[in-house]
Amino acid sequence: MAGIEFVWISLVKAEKSTWGAFAQANEPTGMVCRRLLQLSGSASSYACAEWDLLDGLPASAEVEIGSMREATQASSERWRWIPNTGEFLVLDNVAVRVRNKAGLALPLDSGYSVRLKGAYDRFWDVNKGGDANGNIYNNKAMGINVATLNLGGSIAATATLSTITEANGERLYSAASDDIGSFTVSKGGWLERDGSRARLGIRPLSAEKAYPGDDYVLSFTVEYAAGGTGTPVTLEARTDAKDYVAVYDKKMLWRANLYIDQKEEALGNMDWNTAHPWNAPPSGSVGPVWWSVAWGNNEWNRIHDGQTAFTGIRDLAPGNGGQTVVIAGFAPLRVQNPNGAATAITGRVAYSYPMNPFEPPYATGTVSANKYVRFNGVNWTSTEWMGDRGDAGSMDSPFDFNAKLIYQLALRGTEALMVPQSNHWWAYSQSTETGVTVGSVTNQTSAMPSTATALSGTGAIASRAFIPSLGLWYKDPEYAYNTTSVTEGLTLAQLQTDRRGSWIYEAGTDCIGFAQRSASYNGNVYQWADLPKGITELGNPEGIGSTNNRDALAGYGVDSQYRRYPHYQGDATATDVRPVVSDLILRKPYNQDSPAGFASLSQDQLKRIVPGDVFYYDTRAHIALVNKVEHDAQGNVTAINLIESTFDGYEKQTVITANTLRALTEIEKEPYYTRTYQIVRLRRTAP
């Protein structure tokens, strides 16, 4: 109470002093400090009131989390997401605050001790059981691990919170025994163990039992001995709802961010992968102290410089879990500024439509063959649409992309012929985009070659003609420059014929190839189909690789490994043969007359979203992954950031992290608010 000041009247005069001075001078035995109340309206008596502001007994308690971060995290931003890699989410500077019945904060002394009570299921609803809603409401895992950690990160003590109690509309996970023990409390309220501030670690029970989206609010028991003279007081202290923690699929998001080498100011000018490393070994059973082989290898934790030729990733050195891949610097189809200097977009895998010999011609009879897939020369039936079977291409990993472009560079001779020159990639004379006119290209060597031999001028390996963003150049009527004429090399008709030969393949990824490839890591247990291994991951043993893209495409469709959207119940029909592999979190319907802004979205639904959840349009025209969920001080969601492979004009023709749910909701022009979209969570196979 030393900080409380009093004004009082002595026998001599009015005085002002602190409580300490006042008490020492006046022997305050039996003194109380009371609050004056007033009647309201017609009330004839006071409601029950706690009069004594100086009551020293605690009546309520709460716990504050000073910092949250992954154990291996290099950046300093607050991170509430529990990884599924085996590393802990670490809670530091955990403090307890207690108040008396009048709501006044009490000083903390040696009379307090704190124990972990357990963790509450954040959104548990007794009426939402079963599998119908996945874990959108109720957690799927039957518990979680909590540990106390030494300063070096090793485990001091651990508790398995797997005893489930359901009461008063809540579900609590607690430990069968008190394996962690009690914490002392410093005068500042910090939880301590052996004289040092306690560090708590949280992780799933196992890799198989890590359900992205499972979320928790921690709870503690605060005990006060009352100076040894009274009845001990026991209180429950929960973390604030805004300090919830939730499991996310770090493995998938790490792979997604490997497609883009981009430093972010919010991450201390670090790339995402460097800020949030996943340093599990690419193979074998020897790894960092927090890891064991049961948590799964990181097969993409390999180093590549973007320049050195290689065939399979198994020949690349193990990485450090950061941005281990330098994306080849001659990647994009077009330059960033159509009317200015030829500035290539680098550090990102290029966007590309599927366009290869496994794809059909534009039309078959009266039916648009864009909707079909041809696999090994066989067309699927008319009911098996692109949204179900998918096109057999444009699904490169960063390693596949680099390998293809290095092959291409060897054929072209010099990197200068790979980089966009004077606002072009391959030859064209007139842009179809309004207001953009480009002069004739004079460098004959940059024209589209007619044969594999012409590609290098000296003969070429037929399987190594890879073109970044090939599908954009051929297929897209809005952005493809050559839809009217090609003055050098070949006519458009010749290109449309020759591209179905044996030697031209796209290099890059479209939106579905990017999202599905990110989720297709070894050991995942999603019901969403895995994609077949890419050109650098083929082989037995895995990772030997191949120089022939047909080897990669030959695996398409085997064991139902198709490119398809992760449909949820209500968006999948028997007619379209769409399996249900996700659960709906949020759906924003199209409203032509009144486009709804981000503020109209339900906070209750937004608060359930975690990084790694999936965004897609009803039309299945685009798909993206949630990369970041931002909150304000009250815990409300203020932004949902996406990571996606997309094209939109000149600046977006690669994997990007530029779009937010707010932008896609509030831009009042086509095609944004007129599209119905949803965010879903991928279903897992139960362990």
pLDDT for position 395: 92
What DSSP designation does 235 have?
A: E
SS3 at position 231? coil
Which of 421-435, 452-466, 660-674 has the highest average model confidence (pLDDT)?
A: 660-674
Position 441 confidence tier, pLDDT thresholds 50, 70, 90: very low
Section 225-239 average pLDDT:
80
Section 85-107 average pLDDT:
92
Q: Please list the residues that pair with 192 across neighbouring strands.
A: 184, 197
pLDDT for position 251: 98
pLDDT for position 255: 98
Torsion (CA) 552, 356, 390, 587 in degrees, nearest 10: 110
Percent of the chain with pLDDT over 70: 65
Angle (CA) 426-430-436 rounded to 5° is 105
Position 573 confidence tier, pLDDT thresholds 50, 70, 90: low
Of residues 570 and 606, which shows the higher confidence score? Answer: 606
Please write the tens of the pLDDT for every residue from 483-541. Answer: 333 223 333 344 444 333 344 577 889 899 999 999 999 999 999 999 999 999 999 88
Section 208-218 average pLDDT:
96
Amino acid at 520: S
Average pLDDT, the chain: 76
pLDDT for position 676: 82
Strands (E), 300-388: 363-364, 367-368, 374-375, 378-379
Alpha carbon distance 7, 21 (integer Å): 12
Section 655-664 average pLDDT:
78
Phi, psi (rounded to 5 degrees) for 156: -90, -45
Amino acid at 391: D
Which of 156-165, 289-298, 423-432, 542-551 shows the lowest per-residue confidence on average (mean pLDDT)? 423-432
Position 39 confidence tier, pLDDT thresholds 50, 70, 90: low
pLDDT for position 380: 40
392 has a pLDDT exceeding 60: yes
pLDDT for position 72: 95
Q: Is the CB of residue 563 less than 8 Å from the CB of residue 396?
A: no
Give the tokens for residue 134. Answer: 């996945």
Please write the tens of the pLDDT for every residue from 149-208. Answer: 988 788 999 999 999 999 999 999 999 887 888 999 998 899 998 889 999 999 999 999
What DSSP designation does 403 have?
A: H
Percent of the chain with pLDDT over 90: 43
pLDDT for position 44: 55
549 has a pLDDT exceeding 90: no
476 has a pLDDT exceeding 60: no
Alpha carbon distance 174, 214 (integer Å): 16
Which of 255-264, 464-473, 521-530 shows the lowest per-residue confidence on average (mean pLDDT)? 464-473
pLDDT for position 365: 34
Position 49 confidence tier, pLDDT thresholds 50, 70, 90: low
Section 594-606 average pLDDT:
78
pLDDT for position 667: 53
Which of 224-238, 361-375, 405-419, 668-682 shows the lowest per-residue confidence on average (mean pLDDT)? 361-375
Position 547 confidence tier, pLDDT thresholds 50, 70, 90: confident
Of residues 323 and 154, which shows the higher confidence score? Answer: 323
**257, 279, 283, 256: which is closest to 270 by C-alpha?**
257
460 has a pLDDT exceeding 90: no
Instruction: Give Cβ neighbours of residue 360 (< 8 Å, ≥ 6 apart).
Output: 369, 372, 373, 374, 379
pLDDT for position 90: 97
Torsion (CA) 644, 369, 331, 520 in degrees, nearest 10: 50
300 has a pLDDT exceeding 50: yes
Please write the tens of the pLDDT for every residue from 326-354. Answer: 998 665 555 545 454 545 667 889 888 77
pLDDT for position 426: 35
Instruction: Give Cβ neighbours of residue 491 (< 8 Å, ≥ 6 apart).
Output: none
